[in-house]
Amino acid sequence: MNIIAASGKGGTGKTMIAANLAFAVSQHESVSLVDCDVEEPNLHLYFPGPVVSVPVKTLIPRIDTEICTFCGKCGEFCNYGALSILKNNVLFFREMCHSCGGCGIVCPEKAVTEEEYGIGTVEIRKPSTHLTLFSGVMNPGEVLAPPIIRRAKELGQSGLTICDAAPGISCPVIEACSDADFVLLVAEPTPFGLANLRQMTELVRLLEIPAGVVINRSFGRDAVIHEFCEKEQLPVFLTIPFSRGFAEVQNSGSLIAREFPEWEQKFLALYTRISAEVSR
């Protein structure tokens, strides 16, 4: 089963919820936890330890200007504007290349070959017997997040995978959700939280993935989220109160499921409810 923790904006606590859920479940069964927020991965802060790094590479074109006739066909084909054909040179803008391989296919002179280019790594940590963390890390200045997310998910594929998606509703989130069985939407009970929950709900409906909600930092006035969830038939599985004690645990780099046994049970109950929804 593949569970994705997601939210339309940063700072809602989705990373904390993914970490607590993985920790609680890993006390009983094996879990792969995957950090898909490859621009700013931070799940490892909850689970420090020795790292094994696996490079992530993509293929980029290499043009042999000895063979090239500068006909311009590759430049016309490239939808991403990564190739500009001059009178006697071809300019390649690597940051714009999406590694589709199309320029090599359309070149009549076979002047295009492909070469590997490193865009990031997947860092693997094993904080406990039943928990393995796979963190996608994009190299500084890179723009292609999806191949790194794909690789992190491939390496982390197991019986139960819990992924922490990047905030927002763009390509990296869609890539993280692409094979999800369930999306756990994390929302704050504020007008901003509601606006973001609305966006995320549209996305999961578009992708046709079942979803449920966790309300985080609740002051006990969550009507705005409950009304929306009722209208959209989204189950609210868990409400985490705003608490100084929780903030202190969080700031010390620990987990509420680790420090408070009753919260380990609550995250286990969350997992049980998600499993029941998935097998419905």
User: Please, what sign has the CA dihedral across residues 227, 228, 233, 236?
Assistant: negative
Structural tokens at position 135: 């963190």
Interface with ligand SF4 (CB under 6 A), residue from 16, 31, 103, 234: 103
Rounded to 10 degrees, the C-alpha dihedral 178/183/189/193 comes to 0
- Give backbone dihedrals phi and psi of 143, rounded to 5 degrees, phi first: -125, -15
Shortest Å distance, C-beta 122 to ligand SF4:
23
Q: Which of 21, 31, 68, 169 binds ligand SF4 (CB under 6 A)?
A: 68
Site pattern 124..153 for ligand SF4 (x: CB under 6 A): ------------------------------
Select 91 or 195, whichever has its Cβ closest to ligand SF4: 91
Q: Is 77 helix (H, G, I), strand (E, B) or coil?
A: helix
Of these, 78, 148, 184, 249, which contacts ligand SF4 (CB under 6 A)?
78
Residue 119 near ligand SF4 by CB under 6 A:
no
**Contact assessment for residue 74 and residue 113, using Cβ atoms and an 8 Å cutoff:** no
- CA-CA distance, 30 to 173, in Å (whole number)? 24
Kind of pairing between the strands at 131-138 and 112-128: antiparallel
Identify which of 181, 164, 153, 151 has the alpha carbon closest to the alpha carbon of residue 1.
181
Single out the residue of 39, 102, 150, 179 in contact with ligand SF4 (rule: CB under 6 A): 102
Pair 179, 2: CB distance under 8 Å: yes
Show the tokens assigned to 137: 């890390």
- Per CB under 6 A, 112 contacts ligand SF4: yes
Contact segment (CB under 6 A) with ligand SF4 among 7-15, 76-84, 203-211, 242-250 equals 76-84
Cβ closest to ligand SF4, residue 64 vs residue 248: 64
| Interface region with ligand SF4, contact rule CB under 6 A, candidates 105-113, 140-148, 163-171, 245-253 | 105-113
Does residue number 77 form part of the binding site for ligand SF4 (CB under 6 A)? yes
Contacting residues toward ligand SF4, per CB under 6 A: 61, 63, 68-74, 77-78, 80, 82-83, 85, 90, 97-103, 107, 109, 111-112
